[in-house]
Structure 1
C-alpha cells in the first residue's frame, strides 16, 4: 500500500526559533537594564529617595520591563520574519537608548554639610516634600521669598547649606525638586508655588547653572506681576538663554567662579549685554562650578584654588546681602 500524499491544506510546520544572536542581544539588554537600576540605587540612593519621584518610577519600570523581557527569552518563540523581526530589532535598539538614558539621568547626590543643613533648629524650620524643600525662618519672616532652581541632575538638598543663611536672615527659601533633575521640566513650578505663599509679596528667583537660565526666564515673565512680582534674579555660575537687557526690570546678581570649567569666566562675561544695565557681577576667586552646591566633583569642572567652605561662605554672604537690598 502506498502512503497518502500530504494534504495541501494541513498546517505548516512550526518555524524555528529566532537566531541565537537576536535572543542573546535581547538578554544582554535586559541584563543591562537590571544592572543599571542596581548601580543607580547603590550610587545615588539618597538622591533617588529624596528627589522628584519621576526618576524612581522610571527606574522601577526599567527593572520590571527588563525582568519581564529577560524571562521571555527563556521560552523561545517562533522566528519573526519580515517587518516583525525589524520591529523587534528597533525595540532592542530603543531599549539600549533607554538604558543609556537611565545612566545619564542618575543624579548627583547631596553630601555634607548640605545634609546637616536639612535639619531644623531654633532659627530655621526645614520641611521636605516630594516635589520641593522649604526652609522657613522660625521668627519673623520677611515678605520677600527666594525660589531657587537646582543645577542639572543635582539633588535639591545639595543647596541647603549655601541657602540656609538666607532663611536664618528671615527669608523663606523654596527649592523645587525638578522632574528628572532637568530644569526645563520645572518651568511652571514657580507660578504654581506662589499661591501657596500669600504672605510673600516680593520674590527673588535664582538658580545654579541650567537652573539659573530657567530662573532668568521665570524672572522675566514674573517681574511685572501686580500681586507678587519678581524683584531680583540670583544667578549662580549661570547666564540667561536669551537677551533680557531691556525686558527684565528685576535687579540681578551674577555670582560666578574664576576656575569654573563649565560656566567659564568668558561665558559669564559674554552674558553682560544680555542682562539689564547695572547688573552686579561677583566672581569668587579660585572657586569652581560644583562649589555652588554640595554634591561632590562634577565632570568637566575646573580645579579649585580655595576651599569649598571658603567659597560657600562668600556665596552665602553675597546672596544674603543682595536679597536684603530688595526686601522692604
Structure 2
C-alpha cells in the first residue's frame, strides 16, 4: 500500500511541476525534464507491478522495502523543491529577436547578441538558484543593445555549482570575444566569483570584471581576484541582506564598487515573480530593473577598451 501511495505522490509532483513551470522545464537545461520524465516512468512501472498482491516480506527484505519507500519520499521532496521559478513578462518579450538584438538558445545557454557591431567585452551570467535563465533577459538585454554580447547559462537543475564549466564552454563558443565580465545573481553570483577568480589571469579572453547581483563570494577573494568588481544590491532583500552585502566588503578586492538600489528586493534582479523568504519591495519592478541595468552599463563602460 505504501509503495502505491508513494508512486501516486510522485506522479502528482511531476504533474504539478510540469503544469506550473512548463516554460522553464522545456526551455531550460534538459536535466530537470529528464528527472521528471524518469520519475514518471518509474512510478507508472511501480503502479503496474503493484496490481498483484505481493508476498509479505520479513527480516532484511522488509527493512529494505521500508528504506526504499523512505528514499522515494525524499526523492519526491527534492524533485518538488527543484521546480524552477518561471520567467514572466517583460523577460519573455525581451527574449524575442529584433533589429537591435538577436536571441538564440541551446540546451545549455541563452545568447543575446548585438545585431550591429559588437564590443570586444562580453558578459557571461549565472542565474540564481532554480531561476529560469530567461528571467534575466529584460535586465540584461540593454547590455546587448549597447554592443556587449550576453551569454546566460542554463544550469543543470538550476544550480550554479553544477555549471562550473559553463563559462569555459562559452569562451570556447565565442572566440571573437576579447575579454569577459562574469556575473550572477544570488547563488549564481557566488559561482561567478569562482569562475572569475579562475579566469582573471587567462592569456586569452580573460575575466576582467565580476558583476554581482544581490550576491557575494563564498570565500575571501580580496587578494587573489584581479578582476574589477561591482556589487549591486537592494535594501529590501531578505535573502542576500544588506548586512550580508556589507560583510562581503572584506572578501572582495579594495576598490569594489557598491551600488545599493533603495527599496529593491531579491527577486527584482530578474523577472520570475515573488520568492519565498524575500522582503517586500517599495519600488516598482520597472524602477528596480532600470537602476540595476544602469549600474551594469556604467560598470561595463569602465572596462571597455
TM range (shorter): over 0.9
Find out whether 1:133 has 2:110 as its counterpart: yes
The residue correspondences of 1:191-230 to structure 2 (distance < 5 A) are: 191-230=168-207
Find out whether 1:243 has 2:220 as its counterpart: yes
The answer for the alignment partner of 2:79 in structure 1 is 102
Please point out which of 8, 21, 29 is paired with 1:52: 29
Per the normalisation by structure 2, the TM-score is: 0.99
Find out whether 1:74 has 2:51 as its counterpart: yes
Please point out which of 145, 169, 183 is paired with 1:168: 145
CA RMSD of aligned residues (A): 0.6
Q: What is the deviation of 1:77?
A: 2.1
Listed as ranges, the gaps of 5+ residues in structure 1 are 1-23
Please point out which of 163, 171, 175 is paired with 1:186: 163
The answer for the alignment partner of 2:235 in structure 1 is 258
Q: What is the deviation of 1:71?
A: 1.8
The answer for the alignment partner of 1:151 in structure 2 is 128
Give me the whole-angstrom Cα distance separating, in 2, the residues matched to 1:321 and 1:199. Answer: 23
Aligned residues: 305
Find out whether 1:37 has 2:17 as its counterpart: no
Please point out which of 98, 117, 124 is paired with 1:121: 98
SS of aligned partner of 2:91: coil
Q: What is the deviation of 1:217?
A: 0.4
Find out whether 1:327 has 2:304 as its counterpart: yes
The answer for the alignment partner of 1:18 in structure 2 is none
Q: Deviations over 1:265-301 (max 9, x none)?
A: 0000000010000000000000000000000000000
User: 74-83 or 38-47, which moves further after superposition?
Assistant: 74-83
SS of aligned partner of 2:170: helix
Give me the whole-angstrom Cα distance separating, in 2, the residues matched to 1:175 and 1:43. Answer: 23
Find out whether 1:65 has 2:57 as its counterpart: no
Per the normalisation by structure 1, the TM-score is: 0.92
The answer for the alignment partner of 2:61 in structure 1 is 84
The answer for the alignment partner of 2:70 in structure 1 is 93
Listed as ranges, the gaps of 5+ residues in structure 2 are none
